[in-house]
Homo-oligomer: A and B are copies of this chain.
């Protein structure tokens, strides 16, 4: 038996093909039988898609009951027509379900600046709402219906025990930045049957997104449509979690982080233009925040990514990128290790080139899963992030996108 979104108590899903894309499913519905505590994070881009604007308003209540997401058209840079389209999606879905439209989270992913096919989407929503199902295949349909250029559906499921009650948590994500990045919106939808207060859920979601979806990079840009939404509907029947000190809070928060990291890493794994999955670790930083800033700067560096593609143990570029992060960085204290998932080789020892076997490192860098570990030796702060390499295929795919 497959366990996915629909394994979570009270969650029903559907994924349909309504004709925005030519062949594949393009409408996903994720529904909770009861209103759920809900929290979202949204893109930091100043250019924001219409569904993001609407969902920002709807989530203010801390409650949601449905996530509706279309793929194929981002409903971004679409102006008033797009605004009305996002509202029509929420309105029609709410009417079919007999719920308030403010309980609907709307998301879109696909082409930017194309007129939105409102009629098709609205009639698609109305026709498919009756098909909501807690069958596992309905969960798979939903996971597939949010994809654009992704080459595989990204799903996760886990459960944990809270005082004898099994709590289920499941999620799906999409994103494949390597090709067609205008479509490379990053979406993450997670459902859980835990009972937790919205404010506390919001805190956990923001913390965990910072450690997961915000720590992956493909091309350094955030899209107009990025969104992570988490619904906790309380149907596990546990005592409502109201405080960080409640027994279940840390337990849940850690599982949520684990789920988000899993879903985020799957996004990095899915890039036709990428040849390598790279884990970046920064330790010994003055703070976790500084460590994460360095991780992002290094993993965003065009030169570092190109070196990884070329299996080049080019530590100068890594140090140079770290020096560009806008935080104090004392090169003379730095230890640097490179390697694959199994073996790390020290290439810098307190800022001095270590005595390492260059060919050994180059052999390790042939692997598809690489690691870069930088120790600042300046504190206890640490951070980890994930990225892909920069390949000739990436450039080729991305140079001829809209045409």
| A369 interface residue (CB < 8 Å to B) | no
| A229 interface residue (CB < 8 Å to B) | no
| A302 interface residue (CB < 8 Å to B) | yes
> In the bound complex, what is the Cα–Cα distance between A401 and B302 (angstroms)?
13
A221 touches B312 (CB 8 A): no
Contact with B along A319-362 (1 / 0, CB 8 A): 11111110111111000000000000000000111000010001
Partner of A400, one of B312, B328, B351: B312
A353 touches B113 (CB 8 A): yes
| A163 interface residue (CB < 8 Å to B) | no
Contacts of A220 in B (CB 8 A): 301-302
| A251 interface residue (CB < 8 Å to B) | no
A324 touches B400 (CB 8 A): no
> In the bound complex, what is the Cα–Cα distance between A46 and B118 (angstroms)?
51
Contacts of A224 in B (CB 8 A): 320, 323
Number of copies: 2
| A176 interface residue (CB < 8 Å to B) | no
Contacts of A398 in B (CB 8 A): 302-303, 306-307, 310
Contacts of A166 in B (CB 8 A): none
> In the bound complex, what is the Cα–Cα distance between A46 and B310 (angstroms)?
26
Q: Smallest distance from the beta carbon of A165 to chain B beta carbons, Å?
A: 43
> In the bound complex, what is the Cα–Cα distance between A112 and B320 (angstroms)?
9
A403 touches B312 (CB 8 A): yes
**Nearest opposing residue in chain B for A362, CB measure:** B403
**Nearest opposing residue in chain B for A115, CB measure:** B353
Q: Smallest distance from the beta carbon of A76 to chain B beta carbons, Å?
A: 8
> In the bound complex, what is the Cα–Cα distance between A323 and B399 (angstroms)?
21
B181 touches A317 (CB 8 A): yes
Given contact pairs A313-B402, A314-B402, a sample of 14 additional A-B residue pairs in the complex whose CB atoms are under 8 Å apart = A44-B324, A45-B320, A46-B331, A79-B332, A111-B316, A112-B320, A113-B316, A220-B301, A221-B303, A221-B324, A310-B398, A310-B399, A311-B403, A312-B400
Closest 9 pairs (CB-CB, A-B) = A310-B399, A47-B323, A112-B316, A46-B329, A306-B398, A46-B323, A45-B323, A392-B392, A310-B400
14 A-B pairs with CB atoms under 8 Å apart are A44-B324, A46-B330, A47-B331, A77-B319, A113-B316, A182-B316, A222-B324, A302-B390, A306-B394, A307-B399, A309-B395, A312-B402, A312-B403, A358-B403
